[in-house]
Amino acid sequence: MQADFRPKQIYEQVADQIRVQIQSGQYSPGARLPSERDLAHLLKVSRPAVREAIGALQNEGLVVTRHGSGTYVADAFGRPSNVTPLHPGDLPADADFSPISTLEVRLLIEPAIARLAARRAQRDPLAEQYLKQMADVKDITDPLHQARWSESDRLFHRQLAVMTGDRLICRIAEEISTTMSQPLWNRLRDDGIYDPERIQLYVAEHRLIYEAIVAGDEDAAAFYVEGHLKRVHRDISSRE
């Protein structure tokens, strides 16, 4: 039986190239990698693809990123010396979906979901609960708070589909929600919203989306969802 073929996503190809350079000694333990901009130029890819690749390598333990300083080969800072770096063949067959690709799909689908939910114009206790849980997060640098934010954010967006009353829409939203629980999504999202002011801005945007739906304002609901997702795209694409 022929094995299934899955073409590698761009960020996976970029991660492979950087991984080989690290393991060949081109970047030694503790060395600072070139900036995302420079890596994008050297590897002839987009900066978001580099950002995703760096996030994947962080999750593997090969590199660590310091805010305002850069990304370094991890031995000198984060990974214990007895941990062997992962090789491409050691990685899971099903890599995480590209967060940028996920956002592009969400930009196509979620404004339409908001419109459908607004046609019903009904309050939803679960959506309100997730809003409150997000608002209660104060220290996004705390891993427990990060996990609480991640889950509340994911479930809030999934609940908007439930508010449409359409089972097929709910199934589609469940697939999207699954990608938002993957490690690479969480890594880039956490790196992109690492200060309290950004968290409160996101809370306000979620509140605007919900209130527009409850008020039955389809145009506003779709507009606020689109604006929020575009901000997320900017925040996780690059910090430089």
38, 59, 90 - which closes a domain: 90
Block means of pLDDT (10 residues each) for the chain, 240 residues, are: 67 95 91 94 94 94 87 67 46 78 96 98 98 90 87 96 97 94 90 82 96 98 97 82
Q: For residue 26, what are the domain limits?
A: 10-90
- pLDDT (0 to 100) of residue 107: 97
- pLDDT (0 to 100) of residue 78: 44
CA-to-CA separations, 62 to 28, 172, 186, in angstroms, rounded: 11, 34, 17
- Cα atoms in the 13 Å half-sphere on the side-chain side of 123: 4
Residue 70: closest CA among 50, 87, 84, 85:
50
Q: Give yes or no: residues 74 and 112 share one domain.
A: no
- pLDDT (0 to 100) of residue 41: 94
64, 90, 116 - which closes a domain: 90
Tally of domains in the chain? 2
- pLDDT (0 to 100) of residue 145: 87
Cβ distance 213 to 121 under 8 Å? yes
Q: Give yes or no: residues 156 and 43 share one domain.
A: no
Residue 167, SS3?
helix
90, 112, 146 - which closes a domain: 90
- pLDDT (0 to 100) of residue 195: 78
